[in-house]
């Protein structure tokens, strides 16, 4: 249960640049039903940043002091006389007594929002879990170590990016409440729970606050919407450009015979014999709904118990000899979009769909058009998203506690420790802050 709940929300909380490109809007609408590139090792996956820590009311430590250790308390900073700055009553809360201990350490402030040490610790833990999951059976111990370190060093930067994107979404008036309800229902179905109350109990028994669980999903969806509307909508890939790329890179599309597969799995592991008829009926219902015209990806997300459910059931691209003989004999006879019947396997009831059947030799442009589109689109998305996030930072109040600046973006980032009055010299503003889509501001910022 824990793994399923974690996997169900991982992609929603992805906020690193590459993760957003991969999980959120890497594929343009015109190519959403195309299989990914048959060479998955070329994909550059990054960690997903977790949502906020469970709600609590601890004593908070403000930015401005070096990270504390058990042996050395935070260094005392010179007194400052700040002018007006973003309100944050929680950060001003004094210790409740002479012997009170700091429960939470504020390490960053993003406008009126704060990021605490516990949130960073959770982000780093999630980064390690994601790296281990993706490296399972494919990486050496050294490769895994490098991936974990790379993901963890970007954890704070990712949390700041997420905060900026979520705040931008709220400024835009975007509502994702309908999508939150749908996603919660998908998670409920994937975990074989009969009601939303059962899902809430399952989440709570894992020590996760129910409201925080929903808020994580809400933030992930909001982040995806902002990136799609503010960045993705500005990127276009033309037919002529795709054809030119194909002509210039034909050697990349010389391949052996392969099939790209999607799956729906209804697990029977650990189930009683008396439960099997209902489970098979569930698989048959899923198959019928796909045959009746519903999207395979949506049915997979709702019905599948497999770890591929969050990707719409995408299983991978396989050459001959990489599948069991029984499955190979079945799927290599099938054409694009063909479906198997419900297959009875040791793990459960399985439905496979051939997403694409690649013939041996040079693949036709029609078969790799979506793949090429995704490649060009992703290459353009990454710098555009960097540029957009840079602009959001320039338009925002971001302060980092000394000792954490490198984790927040390093020397090349606009994320730096700033004075408590970054907007003081720019004159009064009215209402909420406006954000530019691209480029730097010229002159003073205008009021909303």
pLDDT level of residue 37 (50, 70, 90 thresholds): low
Tokens of 193: 């729970």
Which CA distances in Å does 173 have to 135, 166, 170, 184, 369? 39, 11, 5, 22, 35
User: Among 398, 397, 419, which Cα is nearest to 409's?
Assistant: 398
Strand-pair partners of 254: 362
For residue range 355-394, list pLDDT tens digits in order.
Answer: 999 999 999 999 899 999 999 999 999 999 999 999 998 8
**Candidates 3.40.250.10, 3.10.50.40, 3.40.50.720, 3.40.640.10; correct CATH number of 257-359?**
3.10.50.40
Q: Do 1-68+80-253+364-448 and 257-359 come out as alike in CATH topology?
A: no
pLDDT beyond 60 at 6: no
Strand-pair partners of 368: none
pLDDT beyond 50 at 7: no
The β-bridge relationship of strands 60-61 and 104-110 is: parallel
- With left for phi above 0 and alpha for psi between -120 and 50, is residue 389 left, alpha or beta? alpha
CB atoms within 10 A of CB 380: 17
Choice between 302 and 352, residue whose per-residue pLDDT is larger: 352
Question: What CA–CA distance (Å, rounded) separates 431 from 447?
Answer: 7
Looking at residue 27, its pLDDT comes to 39
The DSSP symbol for 85 reads -
Please report, for the chain, how many H helices and E strands are present, in that order: 13, 10
pLDDT beyond 50 at 221: yes
Q: What is the 3-state secondary structure (H, E, C) of 323-366?
A: CCHHHHHHHCCCCCCCECCCEECCCEEEEEEEEEEECCEECCHH
Asked whether the beta carbons of 381 and 234 are under 8 A apart, the reply is no
Looking at residue 94, its pLDDT comes to 42
Question: What CA–CA distance (Å, rounded) separates 273 from 96?
Answer: 58
pLDDT beyond 90 at 244: yes
Q: Which of 56-60, 201-205, 426-430 has the highest mean pLDDT?
A: 201-205
The residue ranges of every structural domain in the chain are 1-68+80-253+364-448, 257-359
Q: Which of 48-52, 56-60, 62-66 has the highest mean pLDDT?
A: 62-66
Mean pLDDT computed over every residue of the chain: 75
- With left for phi above 0 and alpha for psi between -120 and 50, is residue 362 left, alpha or beta? beta
For residue range 118-130, list pLDDT tens digits in order.
Answer: 999 999 998 888 8
% of the chain residues with pLDDT over 90: 47
Strand order in the sheet with 314-319: 314-319, 258-267, 348-358, 343-344
Q: Do you know the residue count of the chain?
A: 448
CATH superfamily assigned to domain 1-68+80-253+364-448: Porin chaperone SurA, peptide-binding domain (1.10.4030.10)
Tokens of 337: 């979009």
For residue range 300-331, list pLDDT tens digits in order.
Answer: 988 998 888 888 999 999 999 999 999 999 99
Instruction: To the nearest 10°, report the CA torsion of 338, 342, 345, 349.
Output: 120
For residue range 141-162, list pLDDT tens digits in order.
Answer: 888 899 888 888 889 999 999 9
pLDDT level of residue 430 (50, 70, 90 thresholds): very low
Q: Which of 1-15, 32-46, 70-84, 362-376 has the highest mean pLDDT?
A: 362-376
Looking at residue 403, its pLDDT comes to 84
pLDDT beyond 60 at 220: yes
């Amino acid at each position: 249960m824990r793994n399923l709940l974690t996997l169900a929300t991982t992609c929603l909380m992805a906020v690193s640049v590459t993760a957003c490109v991969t999980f959120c809007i890497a594929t343009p609408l015109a190519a959403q039903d195309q299989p990914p590139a048959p060479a998955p090792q070329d994909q550059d996956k990054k960690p997903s940043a977790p949502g906020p820590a469970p709600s609590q009311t601890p004593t908070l430590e403000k930015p401005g002091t070096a990270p504390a250790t058990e042996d050395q308390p935070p260094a005392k900073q010179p007194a400052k006389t700040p002018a007006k700055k973003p309100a944050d009553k929680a950060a001003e809360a004094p210790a409740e007594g002479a012997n009170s201990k700091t429960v939470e350490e504020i390490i960053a402030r993003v406008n009126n929002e704060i990021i605490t040490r516990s949130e960073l610790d959770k982000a780093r833990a999630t980064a390690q879990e994601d790296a281990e999951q993706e490296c399972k059976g494919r990486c050496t111990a050294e490769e895994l170590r490098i991936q974990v370190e790379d993901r963890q060093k970007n954890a704070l930067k990712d949390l700041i990016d997420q905060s900026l994107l979520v705040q931008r979404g709220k400024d835009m008036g975007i509502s994702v409440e309908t999508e939150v309800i749908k996603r919660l229902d998908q998670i409920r179905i994937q975990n074989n729970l009969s009601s939303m109350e059962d899902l809430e109990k399952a989440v709570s028994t894992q020590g996760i606050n129910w409201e925080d669980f929903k808020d994580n999903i809400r933030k992930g969806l909001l982040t995806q919407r902002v990136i799609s509307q503010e960045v993705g909508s500005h990127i276009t890939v033309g037919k002529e450009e795709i054809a030119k790329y194909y002509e210039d890179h034909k050697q990349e599309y010389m391949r052996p015979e392969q099939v790209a597969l999607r799956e729906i799995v209804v697990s029977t592991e650990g189930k009683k014999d008396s439960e099997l008829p209902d489970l098979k009926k569930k698989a048959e219902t899923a198959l019928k709904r796909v045959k009746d015209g519903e999207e395979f990806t949506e049915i997979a997300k709702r019905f599948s118990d497999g770890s591929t459910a969050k990707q719409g059931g995408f299983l991978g691209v396989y050459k001959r000899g990489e599948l069991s003989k029984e499955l190979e004999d079945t799927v290599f006879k099938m054409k694009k979009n063909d479906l198997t019947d419900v297959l009875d396997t040791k793990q459960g009831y399985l439905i496979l769909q051939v997403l694409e059947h690649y013939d041996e030799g040079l693949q036709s442009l029609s078969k790799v058009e979506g793949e090429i589109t995704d490649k060009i689109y992703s290459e353009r998305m990454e710098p555009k998203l960097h540029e957009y996030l840079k602009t959001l930072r320039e338009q925002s109040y971001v302060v980092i506690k000394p000792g954490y600046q490198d984790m927040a973006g390093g020397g090349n980032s606009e994320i730096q420790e700033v004075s408590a009055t970054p907007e003081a010299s720019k004159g009064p503003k009215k209402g909420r802050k406006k954000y530019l889509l691209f480029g730097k501001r010229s002159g003073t910022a205008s009021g909303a």
